Amino acid sequence: MEYTHLGRTGVSVSRLCLGTMNFGPLTSEPDSFAIMDKALDLGINFFDTANVYGWKQGEGITEQILGRWFAQGGNRRERVVLATKVYNRMSDGPNGRGLSALHIKQGVEGSLRRLKTDYIDLYQMHHVDRSVPWEEIWQAMERLVQEGKVLYVGSSNFAAWHITLANCVAQSRHFMGLVSEQSKYNLNTRSIELEVIPACRALGVGIIPYSPLDGGLLGGALQKATEGRRANENQQKAVERNRSKLESYESFCKQMGQQPADVALAWLLHNPAITAPIIGPRTMEQLTGSLPAVELKLSAEQLKKLDEIWPGPGGTAPEAYAW
């Protein structure tokens, strides 16, 4: 496994991040435990979760699974750089969601309890909250850092101007601010190349792509069109919308002698702005199947061909759309 710094921090994380969203809803607790143990054995030390995963309001089912895994000992907690999130609804009432200081405090206390730990390495805002001033958000986060409950703060689904404004306000308060941004990014979804990636690179904010295979579309969807998630109606529609691109892509991967999923992950890892794509395995086979991507090096010609198949927005703003 290869490692890199998380944004401009000094902490080292694996180039693949273990996403846990399937733990509970789709993957049993014993299987989730086995996947996490194997991930550590493979050198994956970066785990991502969220208080809403498990999708039963207020229960934090996935966090509870991680907490029981940590409780087994064996230095599991100490070996993991743990990321979770706050924003989405966890209780009824007007303060049950968002980024108010009240909800942030309630959120972190709930996550710490479920995760059976006394600190969170990376506490991420799951979405921007336009109704809360940054002074309030940073005051709440600063308190958590002072108390040792949170080490670093990250964002998710933020626009470039949100990231820039957030870090400008943090700097004025002599606070480190955002060190990472979790965005949807893959060969088929490249809009963050316009402004989010340039902003993050300028500010030392590491990017953690989620949905690196675009829900399985880039993982050999034509080859496996009748299996698992690829068989559902929405995925079938996505396949039909992108059929010509997928035919070219899967043919090109075959010429390379590589699996489509490995090429999609390797493409992300070639971008110097990327910290670690999130892999969200449902099974042990899916976990171990992601590893070859770390060692797969794409040539300039191969990268150019992938850009031809999956064209991005044309570069960074404003040159992508203006002279």
Helix, strand, or coil (residue 202): helix
List, in sequence order, every beta strand (DSSP E) within the chain: 3-5, 12-14, 17-19, 46-48, 81-86, 120-125, 150-156, 178-184, 206-210, 278-279
Dist CA 99 CA 191 (whole Å): 25
Angle, helix 101-115 to helix 134-146, in steps of 10 degrees: 30
111 close to 132: Cβ distance less than 8 angstroms: no
Amino acid in position 261: A
Q: How far is CA 73 from CA 12, 37, 69, 166, 271, in A?
A: 22, 12, 8, 37, 36
123 close to 86: Cβ distance less than 8 angstroms: yes
Pull the structure tokens for residue 101. Answer: 């200081």
- Parallel/antiparallel/unpaired status of strands 46-48 and 178-184: unpaired
Question: Has 53 been annotated as catalytic?
Answer: yes
The DSSP secondary-structure symbol of 27 reads: B
Residues 3, 53, 87, 152: which is the catalytic one?
Answer: 53
Q: How far is CA 46 from CA 6, 78, 116, in A?
A: 10, 11, 17
**CB-based contacts of 67: which residues, under 8 Å, 6+ apart?**
114, 115, 116, 117
* Residues composing the chain: 323
Pull the structure tokens for residue 249. Answer: 């892509």
Pull the structure tokens for residue 82. Answer: 């743990």
Positions marked catalytic: 53
